[in-house]
Amino acid sequence: MARPDRLIALIQILKDGRLHRAEDMAERLSVSPRTVYRDMNTLAASGLPVEGTRGIGYQITAAVTLPPLNLTQVELEALHLGLAVVGEEGDAELSSAAMSLSSKIDAVLPEDRRDAPSGFGFAVYPFADAAFGFQHMPPLRAAIRARQKVEIHYASDQGERTTRTIRPLQLDYWGRVWMVTAWCELVGDFQTFRVDKIDTMRVLPAIFTEELGKRYEDYLARES
């Protein structure tokens, strides 16, 4: 598993706010505890509100708020798309300013215990990687509103490429990476997909109805 993907996996483990031992997380990710120690240091140095010590465990600390500014998910998407464009420009001064501004935004974004916290830092997810996924955001949002199924060609954390038919339920921002929570018909369960790892996608004409056990509310209830 690539290091950025492993950091995402660690945040998914920690997002419940509970105390997790490095040994347990290492076993789940098939890595050594020493690797987890290094990854946790990276996340903490990048602004993630995580506390812990070796031998005891790690957990996400209290949320940070951003008064008086409140952003919608779409506004946040637009903001980071703009930063992604500026961050990839050849002007060194503007690129540096984009990275600095993004770090400041990441450092004070409000957290939601249901979602993974943001704040990875530019070095973990360069703008170019995140920007690739923005092309899929408008059709995904439209499919969520219209309750239309979507066919995606997806690259897993292990590099395996599959074709999935999903019911997109929710878009969330996880530290410069957007994720779509969906019901995956291939596995018959809820799945979370990184939008930037979707190679191509196609909105299908099929409309899905809300079924008990397959709704976003059911996903939240299971994760709580």
pLDDT in tens, 69-102: 566 767 776 777 777 767 666 577 777 777 777 7
* Angle, in degrees to the nearest 10, between helices 3-14 and 22-29: 130
Token representation of residue 15:
């997002």
Helix, strand, coil abundance in the chain, percent, nearest 5: 45, 25, 35
- The span from the first CA to the last CA of the chain, in angstroms, equals 27
Let me know if domain 3-60 sits in CATH 3.90.1170.50. Answer: no
Provide the pLDDT for residue 216: 93
Average pLDDT of the chain is 79
- Read off the pLDDT band of 198 (50, 70, 90): very high
| Contacts of residue 58, Cβ cutoff 8 Å, sequence gap at least 6 | 14, 19, 20, 22, 25, 40, 50, 51, 52
Residues ≥6 apart with Cβ < 8 Å to 188:
none
**Domain ranges (residues) in the chain:** 3-60, 73-131, 132-223
Q: Is the pLDDT assigned to residue 120 strictly greater than 50? A: no
- pLDDT, residue 124, reads 44
Amino acid at 174: W
Q: How far apart are CA 179 and CA 177, in angstroms?
A: 7
Q: Tell whether the model's pLDDT for residue 189 goes beyond 90.
A: yes
Q: Is 70 left (phi over 0), alpha (psi -120 to 50) or beta?
A: beta
pLDDT tens across 167-182, in order?
999 987 765 577 899 9
- The whole-number pLDDT of residue 111 equals 45
Phi, psi of 67 (to 5 degrees): -80, 150
Same fold, 3-60 and 132-223: no
**Is pLDDT of 203 > 80?**
yes
* Rounded Cα–Cα distance for residues 217 and 67 (Å): 28
- Reduced to 3 states (helix: H, G, I; strand: E, B; else coil), residue 77 is helix
Mean pLDDT of 137-153: 93
Nearest to 106, CA basis, from 88, 130, 139, 89: 130
Using the predicted structure, report yes or no on whether residue 103 has a pLDDT greater than 50.
Answer: yes
75 or 6: which carries more pLDDT confidence? Answer: 6
Which amino acid is it at 87?
G
Whole-number pLDDT of residue 106: 66
Confidence (pLDDT) at 188: 96
Range from 45-54, 105-114, 119-128, 131-140 carrying the lowest mean pLDDT: 119-128
CATH number of 132-223: 2.30.30.520
